[in-house]
Amino acid sequence: MAKLKIGVLISGRGSNLQALIDTCSTPDFPAEIVLVLSNIHGVMGLERAAKAEIPTAVIDYTEFESREAFDQEMSEVLEAGGVEFVFMAGFLRLLSDPFVERWYDRLVNIHPSLLPAFKGLNVHPRIIEEGARFSGCTVHFVRPALDDGPIIVQACVPVHQDDTPDVLAARVLEQEHVIYPMALKLIAERRVRVADELAVIEDPTYPSQSLINPAN
């Protein structure tokens, strides 16, 4: 089976990108990153890609008159790079409906909460303010609505009473680096399908499962 060709969208430091790069570095891994695309020049994620000898592209969103025009350019660059499946890794732009439809069921995102709870921005302060006892992160297929779509993998972490937003964010990020590669492997092995807007893992005995609960 040919390796699945992945494109990764970034806007910043690219720590989740690095987790995906490390996962794909194994020779027999069933996916390869063929393009890293940023909407901002000079971010650390581009350096990470260059170090791994992965092609990069930058499309400056400020040069476009509309979100749709920017997204159209992104799609053309992704397709020209041979991308078959897109992973968002800290990409700080809302996507237009045409882009989402063009990559329907071939576009995933990771969000730092247990969706459908706490969609949007400023997640960790809101979680602490609400007194939630648990948080986590979610990998999901992208749909036009914000932070919506079939859930592939989640990880759960506790919220401690003395947590600050930064401390909680760091605890969640550790699990993001676990479940994003997990989701990539499931997708690359063609073990995930969408049925009635639910993500179904084809092999229920697969050891990763779809929810992990770290001990701390």
Distance, in Å, from the CA atom of 94 to the CA atom of 97, rounded to the nearest integer, reads 10
| E-assigned strand segments in 11-66 | 31-38, 56-58
Residue located via tokens 């499946």: 85
Which of the 8 DSSP states describes residue 63?
A: G
| Alpha carbon distances (Å) from 125 to 3, 95, 113, 128 | 40, 24, 11, 5
Exactly one of 111, 124, 140, 177 is catalytic; name it: 111
Annotated catalytic residue 111:
yes
Strands (E), the chain: 4-10, 31-38, 56-58, 85-88, 107-111, 134-141, 151-158, 192-195, 198-201, 211-212
Tokens of 164: 């600050």
User: Catalytic amino acids?
Assistant: 111
